[in-house]
Amino acid sequence: MTITLNVNGKSHQVDAEADTPLLYVLRNDLDLHAAKYGCGLGQCGACTVMIDGKAALSCVTPLLVAQGREITTVEGLGTAENPGPIQKAFIEKQSAQCGYCIAGMMMSGAALLKHNPKPSDDDIRAALRTNLCRCGTHMRIMAAIKRASELMGQQAALPAAESNRSAG
């Protein structure tokens, strides 16, 4: 069947079975390789994306339920030339070792910061508890999420500051 997917603000027509995991379609049909195949059981978090602004595991998300909803992957957070605040923070804090979990960590972090711009350590731990990292870079990942929160705060403050300047 043909299903319309909205990924990172772009609409795509996909020809696939309704029960195909969203992850397969992202990687194989749409060439979006940020979300990773880890366990295929929704237990490791490497495939995390955002659906309607909330963290969701794409390996156990049937294509059918993604239809007509807003899907965001790491590709939607920024580009290599112009990284978004979360990507900037992960680079700045050198949070990746092997890097396999990082896309999922970024998406869980992004979903957290969307509804909780100033999370506590406990909030971050709770939001990322279903994302596994085997290298042990957890402390740097925590630091990156905190840094991303700062960067987003500055970004939000900027236009206001500029408009103040022009007004003054």
Partner 1 sequence: MRFLRVVSFLLTVVVVAAVGFLIIGWRSELPPDEKAATAQHPPDLVAKGAQLAAVGNCIACHTKPGQAAFAGGLPVPTPFGTLYSTNITPDPQTGIGSWSEAAFNRAMREGVDREGDHLYPAFPYDHFTWVTDEDNKALYAFLMTRTPVKATAPKNELIFPLQFRPLLVGWNMLFFREGVMQPDSSQSEAWNRGRYLAEGLGHCGACHTPRNSLGAEDRGNHFAGGEAEGWQAYAINAASRSPVPWTTDSIAFYLRNGWHELHGVSRGPMAEVTGNLGLLPDSDIQAIATYVASVMGEPSADRKAKGEKLAQSFGNGGAGLTTAAVNIGKPAADLASHPGAAIYTAACSTCHESGKAQPFGGLNFNLSTAVNAPNPQNIVNVTMFGLPPADGQPSAVMPAFGNTLNDQQVADLLGYLRARFSDQPVWSGLTDLVAKTRSGEHPVTVLASDGIERAPKNVGAKEQK
Residue among 108 and 149 whose Cβ is closer to partner 1: 108
Of 8 and 67, which has the nearer Cβ to partner 1? 67
Alpha-carbon dihedral angle through residues 18, 54, 127, 156, given to the nearest 10 degrees: 150
Q: Which of 15, 31, 81, 122 binds partner 1 (CB under 8 A)?
A: 122
First to last CA, the chain: 58
Collect all residues with Cβ–Cβ distance below 8 Å to 145 and sequence separation of at least 6: 86, 89, 109, 112, 113, 119, 124, 128
Helices (H), the chain: 22-24, 63-66, 85-92, 102-115, 121-127, 138-167
Please tell me whether residue 65 binds partner 1 under the rule CB under 8 A: yes
Q: Which is nearer to partner 1, 33 or 125 (CB)?
A: 125
Position 28 contacts partner 1 (CB under 8 A): no
Q: Which of 25, 32, 46, 56 binds partner 1 (CB under 8 A)?
A: 56
Nearer to partner 1, 74 or 151 (CB): 74
Residue numbers of the site for partner 1 (CB under 8 A)?
A: 17-21, 40-43, 51-52, 54-57, 60-65, 122-123, 125-126, 129-130
